Amino acid sequence: MSECLFCQILAGDVPSIRIAETERAVAFMDIYPAAPGHALVVPRLHVEDALAAADEDLAACMALAARVGRAAESQLGATGITYLSLARPDAGQTVFHLHVHVIPRVAGDEFVFPWAPAAGDPAEIEGHAARLRAAL
């Protein structure tokens, strides 16, 4: 059996509450929900995170995540969706099979946004942009 929890879920070796599937991606409920209706979307093929994933799997996951978000709006009363995908332990990733969190939101809910936006230093932002641009 695979050591990867989400591969075990995809294989049916660990139970899950599936809500949708496509050729490349599967959506199931998060059993430790950050908000009511919290779902996860994963590629069928094992890949650790978004940094390692093929464009086709990233596209398939995000497309299915958007469908799940639209269903959360129409069926669960969500008025917003927070999409999250953590990559690597230092970002807080705990399950090392790419997944997109689909977290239904409503105004004034208890979900805590992970940062309080504040204006950055323009020169520093330009410097980071130049280094990223050179690699892209």
As annotated, the active-site residues are 99
State how far the Cα of 51 lies from the Cα of 58, in Å rounded to an integer: 10
Q: How far is the CB of 13 from ligand AMP (least distance, A)?
A: 11
Q: What are phi and psi of 80, to 5 degrees?
A: -165, 160
State how far the Cα of 43 lies from the Cα of 135, in Å rounded to an integer: 26
Nearest residue to 22 via CA among 39, 42, 47 = 42
Nearer to ligand AMP among residue 24 and residue 97 (C-beta):
97
Q: The tokens of 94 are what? A: 């705990």
97 counts as binding Zn ion under rule CB under 5 A: yes
**Contacted by 32, from Zn ion, ligand AMP, none: CB < 5 to 8 Å by type:** ligand AMP
129 counts as binding ligand AMP under rule CB under 6 A: no
Kindly list the residues in this chain that would bind ligand AMP in the complex (CB under 6 A). Answer: 5, 14, 16, 30-32, 40, 86, 92-95
Kindly list the residues in this chain that would bind Zn ion in the complex (CB under 5 A). Answer: 4, 6-7, 46, 97
